Amino acid sequence: MWVTAHPLVRRPATLHDYVVTFLPQHPSKGTERERPSLAVARSARVLAAAGIEAPRAEAEQLTAYVLDVPRGRLALADGLTPDQRDRLDALVARRAAREPLQHLTGFAGFRHLELAVGPGVFVPRPETELLAGWGVEQGRRLGSPLVVDLCSGSGAIALAVAQELPGARVVAVERSPEALAWLRRNVADRAAAGDTPVEVVAADVTDPELLADLVGRVDVLLCNPPYVPRSVVVPPEVAGYDPDEAVFGGADGLDVIRPVVARAAELLRPGGVLGVEHDDTHGTAVPALLAGDGRYERVEEHRDLVGRSRFATASRRADGRHVEPDPAWQTGSS
């Protein structure tokens, strides 16, 4: 091969003519990207300093949210642009100020669902998945059960049951206008996704005439009521953002549970089952209410994954009778 050494002179090519020089590539000002791992580490330090219990996990969730990728694919994601970094920093600052993570992302995971949540509705907790799972198990034995979810809030329990039991008829009851808006939005979203539509009823669960058309017909009744005793100091995320009426249940935390226990006995068919979540200090009180009603049998107390009392269950007496309360009852350890 010949090359031109001068406009008028040609010479044989040498090895030097084939050497390619790679110059360092510098991005233009304002286009630098931050690796997701660095963004997560930086954000986790801020959250840890603010006292967030799981700073690394929440930093990953916020970073994934900003990048619009699943959390499990963060390592494969492109770096954050300056605008995305600014957005992440703003979200981290709000979380450090104890605004709920779910309010920042706009959704809460619950079993196999992602539910829209925000101001005006109680954010569903992971421990409530245990009650929902118990309800699904009970309904699965029946094929096409009638399931009622009282104090439905965002619809977490009702929608989980409707998704996992396509043959069920599910009725969700909520009183708060603000929570009802979120409930109806989630019901519409899940129906559009192909799940069994949930029936929404705007009503007060303490009303003695609640769901009069379903008396004696309900197979499974589930309830996650407000149950925190008024004197309990709750975390900032709860005190500042969850609706007060969805958290506190009066002086002893049982103001809503008492009428629910009474009305559920009328709504359930003989052999129908009730599951009600409660405060971890109610491990004796709520089963005692069920046993003392006289219309329930098979009263059991259930604990969560860390061993705390979490929800109580019972069956409507198969003979439909109302008997004198039995002062003795046995708790389960499920």
Annotated binding-site ranges for S-adenosyl-L-methionine: 174, 224
Closest C-alpha to 223, from 168, 180, 172 = 172
Q: How far is CA 74 from CA 92, 112, 188, in A?
A: 17, 21, 30
- Take residue 8 and report the two structure tokens written for it: 């008028």
Return binding residues for substrate.
Answer: 224-227
Asked if residues 218 and 274 have their Cβ atoms less than 8 Å apart, the reply is: no
What is the DSSP code (8-state) at residue 105? H
Question: How, if at all, do strands 268-277 and 309-316 pair?
Answer: antiparallel
**Both tokens assigned to 78:** 């492109």
Distance (Å, whole) CA 270 – CA 215: 11
Type of residue at 159: L
Q: Which residues are annotated as a binding site?
A: 174, 224-227
How far, in Å, CA of 183 to CA of 199, rounded?
10
Longest dimension (CA), the chain: 118
The gap from C-alpha 153 to its chain's centroid, in whole angstroms, comes to 11
